[in-house]
Amino acid sequence: MTTTTTTTPALPTPPFVPIEGTINFRQVGGYSTSSPSGGVQVKPIILYRSGDPSRITEKGKEQLVSLGIRRIFDLRADTEVSQYASARADIPGVEFVKVPVSDEEAFDPVNLALKLKQFHEKELETFLELYQEMLECGAGAYETIFRHLIERPDELCLVHCTAGKDRAGLFVALLMMILGVPDDEIVNEYTLTTIGLAPALPALTARFQKHDVYRDNWQGVMNMGSARPETILATLSMIRSKYNGGVEGYLKARTSLVDEDLEKLRGNFLVKV
């Protein structure tokens, strides 16, 4: 497919940023926190998130570089990249880092068909299973991005997957939890994807309709592509109940991050107002 999909100025800016040839591209930051002392919020921009930027135009590359982005973390699996013919774009001055969250086998047609069937029949339960798998399989990938934010806070980065919804969205939710952002703001940030993907729906539909596994269960695809408040709320609850200590417990159990790292992360991105 040669059609170029662009975000448009019709999307609210901020948080969305019009980068030609990208989808669901937005900044992360500027949130209030539930700090006991009050008057603490997240810096206006701590990173960017988006869908697959492989179709970014030359103008889009200039726009991206002008934001100060110097590193892009790609959460997709190699099989996914080849399956959709979406090779990583070459952007001068920007380093691409492969940090796959999902198992390569997740994109096998048989596994995909089963997953779509599950999304068709029990959407919320399937999302929780999917996100739990991502937390376990993707812990190393997420740690790599956290390390960047801890050690290079002034070097802006972009985190992306295919639609910029699940793998990127889960990472951003973890980050917001660590920074003490209230649940309602985490929900609002997650559900922005519904707005962010709207201009890209025709191209995404054409892209997925090329594959029998998606075409044969389109309702499953639509459910899988949703970004509903109840999904992220249930995910936050799952993280808090499954891992002793909640999000901090998850990171300390599944990565090499320690308390000092998390305090440094907060120090990098929380400011008094």
- Give the three-class secondary structure for 74: strand
- Chain segment 52-83, per-residue pLDDT in tens: 999 999 999 999 999 999 999 999 998 878 76
Percent of the chain's residues with pLDDT above 70: 93
Phi and psi angles of residue 26, each rounded to the nearest 5 degrees, phi first: -150, 160
Domains of the chain: 26-272 (3.90.190.10)
pLDDT at residue number 164: 96
Rounded to an integer, what distance in angstroms lies between the CA atom of residue 32 and that of residue 254? Answer: 28
Nearest in space to 149 (alpha carbons), one of 19, 16, 28: 28
Q: How does 241-264 read in b/e, with b if 16+ C-beta sit within 10 Å?
A: eebeeebeebbbebbebeeebbee
> How would residue 89 be classed by pLDDT, with cut points 50, 70 and 90?
confident
Residues in Cβ contact with 20 at an 8 Å cutoff, skipping those fewer than 6 apart: 4, 6, 7, 56, 57, 59, 60, 63
CA separation, residue 14 to residues 110, 176, 193, 198 (Å): 40, 18, 13, 16
pTM score: 0.92
> How would residue 86 be classed by pLDDT, with cut points 50, 70 and 90?
low
Nearest in space to 83 (alpha carbons), one of 108, 51, 102, 119: 108
- Chain segment 194-209, per-residue pLDDT in tens: 999 999 888 888 888 8
Instruction: Kindly tell me if the per-residue pLDDT of 8 is higher than 60.
Output: no
Query: Any idea which residue has 């799952």 for tokens?
Result: 238
Instruction: Kindly tell me if the per-residue pLDDT of 106 is higher than 80.
Output: no
